[in-house]
Structure 1
Amino acid sequence: MTATQLNSETRQAALREMSEGAELDVLVIGGGITGAGIALDAATRGLRTGIVEAQDWAGGTSRWSSKLVHGGLRYLQQFDFKLVTEALHERERLLYTLAPHLVKPVPFLYPILHRFWERPYVTAGVGLYDTLAHVGSKVASMPFHRQLSQRGVQEAFPSIKPGVMVGAVKYWDGRVDDARLVLTLIRTAVGYGALAATRTRVTELLKNDDGAVVGARVTDLEAGTQHEIRARKVIAATGVWTEETQDMAHTDGGLKVLASKGIHIVVPRDRIRGEVGLILQTEKSVLFVIPWEHYWIIGTTDTPYEQDISAPVATAADIDYVLEHANVVLDEPLTRDDVMGTYAGLRPLLQPGVKEGTETASTKISREHTVAEATPGLISIAGGKLTTYRIMAQDAVDFALGKERAKSLPSVTDRTLLHGANGYVPMTRQADRIGARHGWSDDMVNHLLNRYGSAITEIEDLVAEQEDLARPLAAAPAYLRAEVVQAARHEGVLHVSDVFETRTRMSYDQPDHGLAAVEEVADLLAAELGWDDARKEQEIQAYRAVCAAEDAAAQTTDDASAAAARSAAPSLNTL
């Protein structure tokens, strides 16, 4: 494995190599969880691989999920045991092998609302869920479910409204910082030779004389330059942009995808008393109440979306819906004043069937995702969920290679550790020494280990160079100054918003979008990236404008009004 650094210099070098070097075996369009997984799968098979993303890594749907790695209890009600088993085994791999620093066990309560008949029914379902996780798994060690009485529920979750449930089943799933998982996949792929570039928009798909797709023309949105990238196969992993990508090939074939909006709210940890999460059924969706370090994430919604797909936002109606349903079970109701942040994302809902003239691999179609050749040379993948990204990636690369070559060059990602995983457990045993060395609290060391794993050494190296980087950000003490510099030097940050929205969670886990820290963050980035005062101010104002637009959108009551309010912020790509 070679260097995993991502920064403005490596981005430019990757673009040059993709456009001027030898033809790629695979060009991946889309830098979300699926595209990142495909890039890693292809690179670890020894394929010459490139990946481009029009926004930042995880800039579309992948950073706005419920942040869960889970099997999907609801699929058991549909008797889809194969799908649940597959997802649960992927959960176990991430938890205990591939990314133990990023994916953590989290307990949930499944409410029992009716005496006598409901507990046996729920227990059977959750028991089967646990069993499927362990059957055939070499690493499964998630605790088995437990029965809780009404008193037990009150002890585990003191904020529960008395009488709202007669008991619960306590079970375990996984949680993950979704954006950091994507970023870590990209860094790992780069370490195995993948060429990666953000802010690089595909504007045209190139075809040969036979009409087959043989690459893409892309625009570097930072420099305004165009490049032609040649590739034997192009894989589109563009989520809600799937049909837009396929249309560039001037084909009637491909996959059909609809967008569904899901929003989440964030409230301070001390506002709800409890050490476990909740899973609640609503008339429209499943509502999760998920504990994080210093806050709770509550969501989600599930509503059709027909506005600008590049910047979905939460409306007042969305926020009130989540508050209303959470308050059904909370003894002290939440109000809008308790909401410290919100975020919204779009699920790419795969529609039944495929467009006319599309070739599919029947073994690669599941309830969750489909891989199809929209037109010769262009492969689309859509559907699925974060938990099963690795299976999706494997299926896409298998399809691109064809059955015979895929058989002789199989995927190895089921045993390829992600960046920061190797040595993570031994590093946790040194937590006290790391904290003492730099004056960091136990909470801060755990925070760093759970974001970087064994790559916490990158943070320590920066502190060794510049001692003041060991200090927390003055207005956002959950994060160190070194993390901002590390994000620019190792994680490909190009803009202030990249730090707030992807490298950290400050855009929603700090009050007022973390704006109190924007000056300090901009100063650190300016020193690292060589910005002058004018550029630094431009970056600050651009992030302020986005925050103001999102706040305005959150006062509206429908998606059309919210989209209009959000559009007031200038495009980042005009910088």
Structure 2
Amino acid sequence: MSQPSALGPAARERALEALGATGVTGELDVLVVGGGIVGAGTALDAVTRGLSTGLLEQRDLASGTSSRSSKLIHGGLRYLEMFDFGLVREALEERGLLLTRLAPHLVRPVPFLYPLHRTAERPYVGAGLVLYDAMARLGKYDMGVPAHRHLFRRQVARVAPDLRTDHLRGAIRYYDCQVDDARLVLTVARTAAAYGAQVATRTRVTGFLREGERVIGVRARDLESGRDLEVRARVVVNAAGVWTDEIQEMVGGRGSLDVQASKGIHLVVPRDRIRSEAGFITRTEKSVLFVIPWGRHWIIGTTDTDWNLDKAHPAASRTDIDYVLAHVNELLKEPLDHEDVEGVYAGLRPLLRGAREPSSKISREHTVVTPVPGLVMIAGGKLTTYRVMGRDAIDAAAHALGSTGTTARPSITDRVPLVGAEGFETRTNQRVALARRAGLHVARIDHLLGRYGGLVDEVLDLLAERPDLAEPLPGAEDYLAAEVIHAVTHEGARHLDDVLTRRTRISIETFDRGVHAARRTGGLMAEVLGWDHARVDAEVDHYLRRVEAERQSQLKATDQEADEARVSAPDIV
């Protein structure tokens, strides 16, 4: 790699200086707008083809949809029923690629039970899973997970003691994969930076630069300092997801993408509330219900409803939460209630609207268009296929680049491991020695390896320099103080929200939503970012207001009421 991948404060300043100087030093080949998984993946695809690349994100990396998904890397079993075989095959190939080659440190297999309520379901569901596994096995990359297996009622009771079996005919166990979605985005962005991409967060695009019809760059504002800059590029790629319509408006409504935001909410409950060695998946009348193992927790979701309110902070209503609880309780011997819920989060899927159909029926296919010369727009898709989306976006950009005399080589991201993949297996084999050297329990090293992979040495080096950073955060014992410092120095965290909601998942994994950890976390960030006491107070106060606004929104019956409660705590910038 040509340069360090760290996304600290100095790296952000260098990126902004380089991007702002493009009018003098020469335009970029590709500028990507949007720091979610698609934008990060597009930037990585571009820079590894030899193109000079920049990435602008108006808030934090993964601050929108890409940190609020079901956190699954999967083929999309339900799309087989829609006969969307191409999408399923593509997603299964990407699942195998991520698990075995690109991100084995972040992506891991997870078993699921598909409960069978009627005898006739077994051949129907079984045939679907035979096809699912066959597509994965016959794809271009390793399958990476075990094949499905039929279970009868007694076997189900052993695997999942808390699953109701009185009305079951058995179940089928199959495997998909999961990932911390926010960490995947961060890792893709760090990999792009390591190969030379200029990555700048908290920088909002305010308009386009034009020569006649052609887009030649963007006007942007650094939201941290308030300074304005112009970034020139031969091609601008919009990967703004649910904000696609706003970008289309900036080019005078020129664009053919009709993106519908669909809200999905998830609940997080402690692992001991449901005794099971596997997750569950079942269909509801409106969506698919997942119960997903997540460390010492379960993630339960999801809903699938149109959302036309605030896109930055979609709110989960009491009605949403009741819906998920009611459906999961149909599966469980001991029902869950609101007191069991540690965390709640809501995300928006950027669905490409076709005919007037409910969002739960819209495919997750993606589309790339070039509405005006110099501008490529991509929308739709899903987390699992981000790499394919980035490749397709840069393929489209390559046509425009060709007219300027710049040649883009073919995509190679299927052969570019993400940072942290290298050294992961070696460090895993050395886990006992690492624990002894750092004075930590082996389970703590395992947790760090699952978050940082081969980059775990960055955190362990901090501990060697400052043993006091080995202390866990108050009220969030899964995370060390060193991880807060690392989040700022290496992972681009600029605000308390960034650390508590995305670099860690404290905001959804603790009953207090991270309130007790906020002050200590803010103080640690201040050491790196130079905050004074007043600034720490402001960051903590904002976070507490955010938590309270979310709690209030989750008591409201309707989306409109929930949205009004949530937006009462706006972003700190």
TM-score normalised by structure 2 residue count: 0.96
Shift of 1:138: 4.1
2:396 to 382, 390, 399: 399
- Who is 2:509 aligned against? 509
- Match for residue 39 of structure 1? 43
Q: Structure 1 residue 431 and structure 2 residue 399: aligned?
A: no
Q: Using a 3 Å threshold, how does the CA distance of structure 1 residues 232 and 281 change in structure 2: closer, same or farther? A: same
**Superposition deviation, residue 191 in structure 1:** 0.2
The aligned residue for residue 6 of structure 2 is: 5
Work out whether 1:368 is the aligned partner of 2:365: yes
Which residue does the alignment assign to 1:83?
Answer: 87
Contact 1:251 1:375 in 2 (8 A): no
Q: CA deviation at 1:404?
A: 9.8
Contact 2:93 2:141 in 1 (8 A): no
The answer to whether residue 127 in structure 2 is matched with residue 127 in structure 1 is no
Match of 1:187 among 170, 183, 190: 190
1:413-492 aligned at under 5 Å gives the runs 413-492=413-492
Range 163-172 or range 336-345, more displaced:
163-172
In 1, distance between residues paired with 2:141 and 2:210?
A: 46
Q: Which residue of 1 aligns with 2:245?
A: 243
> In structure 2, how many angstroms separate the alpha carbons of the residues matched to 1:154 and 1:239?
42
2:484 counterpart letter in structure 1: V
Deviations 1:381-437 (A, max 9, x none): 000000000000000000000299699610000010001001111110001111112
Q: CA-atom RMSD, angstroms?
A: 1.4
Letter in 1 for 2:366: H
Does the 8 A contact of 2:66 with 2:181 survive in 1? yes
The answer (yes or no) to whether the contact 2:51–2:408 under 8 Å persists in 1 is no
Q: Deviations over 1:236-277 (max 9, x none)?
A: 000110011111011332311011110000000101101101
- Residues 422-465 of structure 1: CA deviation (Å, up to 9, x unaligned): 11111100011111122222321111001000000000111111
Q: How does 1:531-542 map to 2 (within 5 A)?
A: 531-542=531-542
Check the 8 A contact 1:214/1:231 in 2, yes or no. yes
Preserved CA contact (<8 Å) 2:49 2:408: no
1:203 to 2:200 alignment? no
Q: Distance in 2 between matches of 1:192 and 1:523?
A: 32
Correspondence for 1:172: 175
Q: Is the 8 A contact 1:52 1:200 kept in 2?
A: yes
Secondary structure of 2:514 counterpart: helix
Deviations 1:120-157 (A, max 9, x none): 12111101101110104342231011110001111111
Distance 1:325 1:502 in 2: 28
Structure 2 partner of 1:214: 216
Q: Which moves more between the two structures, 433-442 or 51-60?
A: 433-442
Equivalent residues in 2 for 1:527-566, closer than 5 Å: 527-566=527-566
Q: State the SS of the aligned residue for 2:512.
A: helix
Residues 280-429 of structure 1: matches in 2 within 5 Å? Answer: 280-352=282-354, 368-402=365-399, 409-429=409-429
Aligned to 2:359: none
Residue 519 of structure 1 and its aligned partner are, at CA, apart by 1.1
Give the match's secondary structure for 2:276: coil
* Aligned-partner residue type, residue 194 of structure 2: G
Measured in 2, the distance between the counterparts of 1:142 and 1:214 equals 45
Query: Post-superposition shift, 1:83?
Result: 1.6
Q: Is the 8 A contact 2:265 2:320 kept in 1?
A: yes
Displacement after TM superposition at 1:331 (Å):
0.3
1:25–1:49 contact (8 Å) kept in structure 2: yes
Structure-2 residue corresponding to 1:49: 53
Q: Is the 8 A contact 1:254 1:375 kept in 2?
A: no
CA distance in 2: counterparts of 1:310 and 1:121, whole angstroms: 40
In structure 2, C-alpha distance between the alignment counterparts of 1:172 and 1:484, rounded to whole Å: 33
Aligned to 1:137: 140
* Residue deviations 1:342-391 (CA, integer Å, cap 9, x gap): 000111111239xxxxxxxxxxxx96100001222111100000000000
One of 131, 150, 157 as aligned partner of 1:154: 157
Tell me how far apart the structure 2 counterparts of residues 36 and 506 of structure 1 sit (CA, whole Å): 24
> Residues of 1 paired with 2:503 and 2:541: CA distance?
19
What is aligned with 1:496? 496
Amino acid at match of 1:181: L
Query: Structure 1 stretches of 5 or more lacking a match?
Result: 354-365
Q: Which letter does structure 1 place at the counterpart of 2:557?
A: T
Query: Are 2:71 and 1:74 equivalent residues in the alignment?
Result: no
Contact 1:370–1:383 under 8 Å retained in 2: yes
How many residues are treated as equivalent by the alignment?
559
Hey, what does 1:359 align to over in structure 2?
Answer: none
The answer for the alignment partner of 1:28 in structure 2 is 32
Distance 1:407 1:204 in 2: 27
- In structure 1, distance between residues paired with 2:64 and 2:250: 19
Distance 2:560 2:376 in 1: 33
Q: How does the TM-score come out when normalised to structure 1?
A: 0.95
In the alignment, what sits opposite 2:358? Answer: none
Aligned to 2:259: 257
1:188-238 Cα shifts (integer Å, max 9, x gaps): 000000000111000011101x22111000010000110000000010000
Pick one of 99, 111, 114 that aligns with 1:110: 114
